[in-house]
Amino acid sequence: MPENNNIENIFKERFENYSVKPNQSVWSAINRNLFYIRFFKFNPLRFNFWYGLAIVITGTILLINPIKTEFVSNNTTGKNDLNNLQKNSTSNTDQLINQGLNEQKISSIESNNPNQTEKESESFKNDAINHSDQTIVVNSNINNDQVNNNTEIKKVLNPVPDFKIDDYSVCQPASITFVNTSQNCESYLWDFGNGIKSSLENPSVNYKTAGNYMVTLKCLCENNSTTVKKSITILPLPEAKFTIKNPNMIFSGEKTEFLFIGSNSNENQWFFGDGNMTKGVNPTNTYDEEGKYKVTLISSLSECTDTFATDIIVRDTKYKISVPTAFTPDLNGPGNGYWKTESRPNSIFYTVLNYETRDFKLRIYDKFGNLMFMSNDPDYGWNGWYNNKPANTNVYIWECEVKFIDGETFYKKGNVTLLHSEY
């Protein structure tokens, strides 16, 4: 039925063959009924009552239930129900109007009573209004079902706290990162058992002291909270450390003794740097050749280890005396003969010993057997002077007798050439 045609003209066309025509009150009742029908009619191309109702329902559901997927499903179902109701309402209303008009025509022709026609029109109006009210009540029930469905979904979303770490038993000091695997949580409260707390999602904590710690994670979601607790163990760390007996007197072919001075260890592994290794507290090792070696100690306690390393110098044979084959005395004046403090050691004849001595004797003779110099201190040598003047350029005979601190004795002799600088 076109909306731009006047309702009276339509009815006049239908009643033009009848002698009795409806009065003005009938037109008013019919116009009111048609207003309600048009008001509740769904038109997808125009904003109408049903679009407004859908906006209100959508806003209510978004406020009550933040789960968008559930809202879209419920809203789609509700919208389909509304379309079906609206179609049925429109169809039923059209039938009521046509039926009412036909009955009014027949009644008016037969009785020729305008008052009766007025009453029937009023009854027709009330039926149309009641039909519209029924549609609104059904829509209200759909909204309540949607709200109830959203409430049930919220009850399922309880907080489930949980976390994990790489290892629950680690050596001190330990830096541990906690990986949060909780579900349905809005915020977190951590207690790491060592006095430190945090509200981060994935915190990291340093444990410096050995011991057992109870880690607590509290998961919060709105007014609900749940707690999970897990224990971690920080294991004590051993100390690896050693020293060497007589570190400045390590010789090839001689045993070198190593002394453990660490702590908190139940196993020690030694690597001597020459390919040899052993286990123990105070081991020994014999180096076949002189040189520089790196000695490493690894101390263990349960799963934890500590490492200590140092370099050592291995000298040639233990009982060894080194002397120069020639020297040039200082002609400007005799030095004091202590070669370790002399700025020109080439001006002094001295001996170098590999091992600490208990007794020392150095004697120097000329080719005729005359004693030119003597010393009982290995740090004191001949400055090349004799009777307060430089000795003659010549070859001299020296002999050295040593008794080391371990009781071993050593004797050696040889020749040395004295040269003057002018030659």
pLDDT tens digit string along 43-78? 676 666 777 788 888 888 888 765 444 434 444 444
At residue 305, the pLDDT reads: 93
pLDDT tens digit string along 238-277? 999 999 988 887 888 889 999 999 998 999 999 999 999 9
At residue 85, the pLDDT reads: 41
pLDDT tens digit string along 135-168? 223 233 334 444 444 444 445 478 999 999 998 9
The HSE-up count of residue 141 (CA atoms within 13 Å, CB side) is 8
| Higher-pLDDT residue of 220, 43 | 220
Q: What is the DSSP letter of 243?
A: E
User: In Å, what is the CA distance from 396 to each residue of 363, 413, 416?
Assistant: 10, 11, 5
d(CA 323, CA 225) in angstroms, rounded, equals 87
At residue 50, the pLDDT reads: 73
Task: Classify strands 267-271 and 277-279 as parallel, antiparallel or unpaired.
Answer: antiparallel
| Higher-pLDDT residue of 114, 238 | 238
Exposure b/e, 245-265, CB count within 10 A at least 16 = b: eeeebbbbebebebebebeeb
Residue 181 pLDDT greater than 70, yes or no:
yes
Mean pLDDT of 107-123: 42
Q: What is the DSSP string of 344-406?
A: -GGGSB--EESS-EEEEEEEEE-TT--EEEEES-TTB-B-SEETTEEPPSEEEEEEEEEEETT
| Higher-pLDDT residue of 87, 248 | 248
> Model confidence at 347, in pLDDT bands (50, 70, 90)?
confident
Q: Are 121 and 30 in contact (CB under 8 A)?
A: yes
**What share of the chain has pLDDT > 90, as a percent?**
43
> Model confidence at 133, in pLDDT bands (50, 70, 90)?
very low
Residues paired with 122 in a beta bridge? none
pLDDT tens digit string along 12-28? 666 555 555 566 776 67
| Higher-pLDDT residue of 297, 23 | 297
At residue 66, the pLDDT reads: 56
Give the contacts of 341 (CB within 8 A, at least 6 positions apart).
none
Task: Classify strands 224-235 and 169-171 as parallel, antiparallel or unpaired.
Answer: parallel
Q: Are 413 and 400 in contact (CB under 8 A)?
A: yes
Q: Are 237 and 268 in contact (CB under 8 A)?
A: no
Mean pLDDT of 296-320: 90
